[in-house]
């Protein structure tokens, strides 16, 4: 069983091979990241077609005899103030990724950090009260000068408050951390509770639960 250092401690974080022993699957990671980022798009951009623009009920001029081109409405798309042809309309950008594929992508993303040595643990006992200074020292001692994702449990507020104000550090609850968040971070810090929740999302496959 592999392990990872725990910041500010001499003990190691045990890594389950079932979670952190998968190989890199770029295609699954790519598909899951696309799905997650697409789901975050609001899809509210909209334009008015000629049928939605107010006015234009009267024919601008008679059909013949003026020497000008025929015109039936001043709200034609070729007129200033007219409707828009083939403009954006409200839509959903989401698409489905199978449950097994999502879990395999998450397993692959976590394994990537474990293989690179860019994974570390954090002990909640080190933060009896929030301390950004202490969190920054942990990152410095670890040699981290790049983007970091900190994954914690829902009740580990002191850890979240300690890390959240540090530059290039993102803090997420384990239930909210997706494949896109994990692969976009150069380094990953996870508490034991956060690790258990991530592992639980992967082991749900055997129990038939949703993840």
What HEC string does 77-125 produce? CCCCCCCCCCCCCCCCCCCCCCHHHHHHHHHHHHHHHHHHCCEEEECHH
162 within some domain:
yes
Report the candidate in 85, 54, 160 with the shortest Cα–Cα distance to residue 177. Answer: 160
pLDDT in tens, 155-201: 999 999 999 999 999 999 999 999 999 999 999 999 999 999 998 88
Instruction: Report pLDDT for 11.
Output: 86
Q: Is the dihedral of CA 16, 22, 24, 27 positive or negative?
A: negative
Do residues 121 and 138 touch, judged by C-beta distance below 8 A?
A: no
Instruction: Report pLDDT for 137.
Output: 94
Instruction: Report pLDDT for 206.
Output: 47
pLDDT in tens, 107-116: 999 999 999 9
Do residues 138 and 8 touch, judged by C-beta distance below 8 A?
A: yes
Instruction: Report pLDDT for 204.
Output: 56
Report the candidate in 83, 7, 91 with the shortest Cα–Cα distance to residue 42. Answer: 91
Whole-prediction pTM:
0.81
185 within some domain:
yes
One domain, residues 110 and 147: yes
54 within some domain:
yes
Q: Please, is 143 exposed, middle or buried when counting C-beta atoms within 10 Å of its C-beta (0-12, 13-18, 19+)?
A: exposed
Helices (H), 53-98: none
* CATH number for position 102: 3.40.1370.10
One domain, residues 75 and 178: no
User: Is the pLDDT confidence value at 203 over 80?
Assistant: no
Q: Which residues pair with 148 in a beta bridge?
A: 169, 187
Under DSSP, is residue 203 helix (H, G, I), strand (E, B) or coil?
helix
Task: State how many domains the chain has.
Answer: 2
Question: Residue 170 sits in which domain range?
Answer: 2-26+98-207
One domain, residues 56 and 103: no
Under DSSP, is residue 45 helix (H, G, I), strand (E, B) or coil?
coil
For residues 5-17, average pLDDT = 89
Under DSSP, is residue 110 helix (H, G, I), strand (E, B) or coil?
helix
> How many residues does the structure list for the chain?
211
Q: Is the dihedral of CA 168, 173, 178, 183 positive or negative?
A: positive
pLDDT in tens, 20-75: 988 899 999 999 999 999 999 999 999 999 999 999 999 999 999 999 999 999 99
Instruction: Report pLDDT for 210.
Output: 53
Count other C-beta atoms under 10 Å from residue 160's C-beta: 19
Write the CA distances from 176 to 20, 124, 153, 182, 207, integer angstroms. 19, 19, 10, 11, 21
One domain, residues 201 and 127: yes
Of residues 29 and 1, more confidence is placed in 29
């Amino acid at each position: 069983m592999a392990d990872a250092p725990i910041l500010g401690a001499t003990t190691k974080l045990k890594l389950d091979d079932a979670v952190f022993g998968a190989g890199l699957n770029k295609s699954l990671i790519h598909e899951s990241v696309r799905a997650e980022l697409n789901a975050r798009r609001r899809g509210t951009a909209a334009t008015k077609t000629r049928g939605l623009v107010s006015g234009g009920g009267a024919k601008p001029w008679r059909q013949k005899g003026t020497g000008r081109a025929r015109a039936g409405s001043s709200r034609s798309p070729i007129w200033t103030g007219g409707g828009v042809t083939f403009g954006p309309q409200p839509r959903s950008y989401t698409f489905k990724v199978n449950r097994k594929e999502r879990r395999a992508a998450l397993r692959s993303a976590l394994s990537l950090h474990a293989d690179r040595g860019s994974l570390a643990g954090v002990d909640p006992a080190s933060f009896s009260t929030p301390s950004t200074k202490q969190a920054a020292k942990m990152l410095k001692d670890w040699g981290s000068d790049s983007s970091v994702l900190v994954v914690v449990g829902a009740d580990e507020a002191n850890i979240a408050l300690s890390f959240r104000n540090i530059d290039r550090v993102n803090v997420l609850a384990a239930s909210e951390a997706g494949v896109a968040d994990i692969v976009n971070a150069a380094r990953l810090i996870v508490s034991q509770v956060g690790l258990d929740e991530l592992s639980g999302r992967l082991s749900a496959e055997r129990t038939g639960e949703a993840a």
